[in-house]
Structure 1
């Protein structure tokens, strides 16, 4: 019996070693194919690739930032990629804007050359999609919606979703819902006369990211389901809980946590908690869909909300099947909730942080809104005319894009420019680095200068295709129009009624939690006009 057990153990271990050996051999084969094209990179260690190097560089950067924490507030324009993704910056200085590295058995290609970014932008093949090892991790939060789908499934969903995000539809629906919710978004903390300044105006300190998340969530709920935030806040709360649980571990993107930490994580109740939240979210969403279908029976198409229109579009296509329709609506509702609510609220927070530092741009926006918007309130006709607001938003998205990466995986061998990318290689473009490159933006690349966009993106930099806050190519974010209109309206409403400055309690600490957000929130001192 002992002999049989020993043979079984040896057999299992041999199989494991064989699998790992084959994966390692394949990773090295891909690396050599890239090296033959003149692409360099850090030498990998056996089985672990460059993960030990990444852990070491990350630890060093964390120690350095702790030592210099008292200086962080003085350098609000510093390139935070050196803190959040120091290994990329370390290797960029060694190998340039194109290099290869590996995380265990996965081979990656860092691509920040403007010409190659342009070629990626023009690439329309379905053989280039989201990295599967990342999208698999995101499944509990995004299902198989458009943000993580690939191939034909993505193409089908894009066809159904894209039409509902055309500018005319987005512009009218957002403006109507914003103005239906509030005449103006007031801070959650009332301005107290007791906190008056020398001119007698009431002021208060507000943590704006909290308000903006609630406000953005309310708009998404109304646009999607016609419901107020009270109906949808459970969905948002549970999605936020999943996001925090998934991003809490350092190895989310590249597996930087130790093997022991991974085992601990997998064996903990956290996985059960995520699975439970996933089921609850899906149940809540479908209840809202069914409820809305009953409420709006016989409603004209002009009065229907986004989810109704998407559901009808999915059910109209007979080739997709009934099961696909339900899965499609639930998963894409999760996608729209997360992408449309979280990223827009974070972008608005960064907008207010930078505007608090530059009050002259508050004045310019306030003047523009007063001149172009009826009674100082934006409507569907005046929103496109708010060019100063648009310039500010574009500059904020350049300096602090919520999405840190454009990531792709080659499902087959593909050609990008003069580069042959082997099947299985993942490509990464680091957006903040691209957006702050002096070769692209000039010597003031780290400075807040919205006027650089006065004549649009094409005149703002040497390579317009290097401006990618909403991603690039065929997978450009479908919610781009939605986000831009929403940001224009919320900034116009706030600035027309309030002036504000950065609070002394604000701590500048960008953090990566699937998106780049203010690590400790944005605290401002707000004053009613």
Structure 2
């Protein structure tokens, strides 16, 4: 073998110079051709993704009678979407519940302009950069999409910088999702949630006492209840889900607020692959926040694991359940998975209930007659005593009020899906890689399903149950696991606030609903609190 190799080398070295030059020329010629082919391939692929593929998808959708906008090179409708949103959010609106034109101006206009004239019903198409987005403003079609059992509709791929905000079960698909969902579902069973009532009560009691100290001997006190209710919900999450108090989790919540701002900015920018790896100031801060939050949660997990090793029980909180699952032999859940589930619950659990309660206080300030009715029900049920589980379950007026508020002001104004493969919606053939937008807010404000008084506050709508076009917590197998958790917390908090205070909007309040992932009052929620005493049951008529 060595002799053969040596012979080859000798022959190679003995090649004449002119032949060597020819070989060199052929080599560089082949290399140049390969480079040109590679460049041509990249150009064609880029052309396909930014023009050819969008135009083919546009033609396919329009041939089926779906109305909407036409594809605009590279940006689609993003410039119009941002412009309309900036204009709508630049000034407050009148004190009414007709909020869709301000909150979602682009999608509201799309539905108004295209859905009614669409050949196939309540569907229209818009363009988010190079991707078509179907706006499905029909409750029956929305149910079909959310109940999807074949896995044709999945959570859409997003900018990786957005993924820093929340991962966990909400972003998993198919078998991974089913297994994780099954593991964490026991933490949200009714018995478990009802067992958290003492922790809920402690947090609410802390809030009420704090407000009483602020009012003091004064007749009234002006307070921004938005931040107060954020702290209440954060304390509830910390106590009931992680066995700690607000003080221990406060740094996590502060970091999450900063992270939300950075994530929204990333989601609204034109996505360029690889941009997240550039060491820009904001990119560095995004990853710093993520690492800080993970570090704090990892320390919390290690502290809990050490306590269990020393003989303490896992406990009934969410963290205890996750660690118990993690310790099972047939479970693939890692510490990093536990951290992501904690991140998800910290954000989703806090934001949903805090904003729900904030809008409830605002709406009851706008409608003092319903505030009086709710207070009378609470005081008749339990007087000044702390509401127990049985009392809370029988607060019918309070429940109707909360449901009507979340109809008018849903914390999540829309849900997104993505076609994983070619599929059908209502008899239409929808290609793969099409985004689906399910506009919860627009459905909740649609006269076709709620009547001509759709923008009026009428809690009696829910006296006979829940109407069909009602999706505040999603639908189908992926409905929000924390629904019962949020409802119990909201009912208890509202009942205890009504027991101790009456409230009205401050003259400085500006009605300006807008979305920063969840629906919030843009300029806060200043209200004037009036402390009630035992003899004061409700306002005089």
Q: Which residue of 1 aligns with 2:414?
A: 405
Matches within 5 A, 1:297-308: 297-300=310-313, 303-308=315-320
d(CA) in 2 for partners of 1:84, 1:8? 52
Pairing 1:78–2:98 present? yes
Q: Which residue of 1 aligns with 2:402?
A: 393
Q: How far is 1:273 from its partner?
A: 0.5
The structure-2 alpha-carbon separation of the partners of 1:210 and 1:139, relative to structure 1 and needing over 3 Å to count, comes to same
Contact 2:215/2:529, CA 8 A, preserved across alignment: no
d(CA) in 1 for partners of 2:276, 2:164? 19
TM-score, reference length from structure 1:
0.86
Q: Which residue of 2 aligns with 1:367?
A: 376
Q: How far is 1:263 from its partner?
A: 7.5
Pairing 1:104–2:121 present? no
Cα deviation digits, residues 261-280 of structure 1 (max 9, x gap)? x9899663111001011011
Pairing 1:270–2:282 present? yes
Q: How far is 1:9 from its partner?
A: 10
Contact 2:514/2:520, CA 8 A, preserved across alignment: yes
Q: How far is 1:350 from its partner?
A: 0.6
Q: How far is 1:305 from its partner?
A: 1.9
**Secondary structure in structure 2 of the residue aligned to 1:369:** helix
Q: Which residue of 2 aligns with 1:176?
A: 198
Q: Which residue of 1 aligns with 2:177?
A: 154
Pairing 1:488–2:491 present? yes
Q: How far is 1:338 from its partner?
A: 0.2
* Structure (1 or 2) with the larger CA radius of gyration: 2
Counterpart of 1:519 (choices 511, 515, 522) is: 522
d(CA) in 1 for partners of 2:491, 2:527? 19
CA RMSD of aligned residues (A): 2.8
Q: How far is 1:102 from its partner?
A: 1.8
Cα deviation digits, residues 479-521 of structure 1 (max 9, x gap)? 1111111101110111111000000011111121111111111
Cα deviation digits, residues 130-159 of structure 1 (max 9, x gap)? 11126x3432121x3012222322222111
d(CA) in 2 for partners of 1:20, 1:7? 20
The 10-residue stretch of structure 1 (43-52 or 88-97) with the greater mean CA deviation from structure 2: 43-52
d(CA) in 1 for partners of 2:154, 2:72? 28
Q: Which residue of 1 aligns with 2:238?
A: 221
Q: How far is 1:219 from its partner?
A: 1.0
Cα deviation digits, residues 6-31 of structure 1 (max 9, x gap)? 99998886555323212132223222
d(CA) in 2 for partners of 1:126, 1:266? 35
Q: How far is 1:283 from its partner?
A: 1.0
Q: How far is 1:100 from its partner?
A: 1.4
d(CA) in 1 for partners of 2:127, 2:58? 8
Pairing 1:334–2:311 present? no
Q: Which residue of 2 aligns with 1:433?
A: 442
Pairing 1:89–2:108 present? yes
Q: Which residue of 2 aligns with 1:509?
A: 512
**Structure 1 residue runs of 4+, over 4 Å off?**
6-16, 55-59, 257-260, 262-267
Contact 1:160/1:314, CA 8 A, preserved across alignment: no
d(CA) in 2 for partners of 1:230, 1:58? 36
Q: How far is 1:123 from its partner?
A: 2.0
Structure 2: which 5+ runs fail to align? 1-27, 116-121, 533-541
Pairing 1:36–2:63 present? yes
d(CA) in 1 for partners of 2:436, 2:76? 16
The structure-2 alpha-carbon separation of the partners of 1:56 and 1:235, relative to structure 1 and needing over 3 Å to count, comes to closer
Pairing 1:417–2:426 present? yes
Contact 2:114/2:124, CA 8 A, preserved across alignment: yes
**Secondary structure in structure 1 of the residue aligned to 2:324:** helix
The structure-2 alpha-carbon separation of the partners of 1:54 and 1:218, relative to structure 1 and needing over 3 Å to count, comes to closer
d(CA) in 1 for partners of 2:499, 2:237? 23
d(CA) in 1 for partners of 2:198, 2:82? 49
**Secondary structure in structure 2 of the residue aligned to 1:526:** strand
Q: Which residue of 2 aligns with 1:211?
A: 228
TM-score, reference length from structure 2:
0.84
The structure-2 alpha-carbon separation of the partners of 1:226 and 1:11, relative to structure 1 and needing over 3 Å to count, comes to same
**Secondary structure in structure 2 of the residue aligned to 1:108:** strand
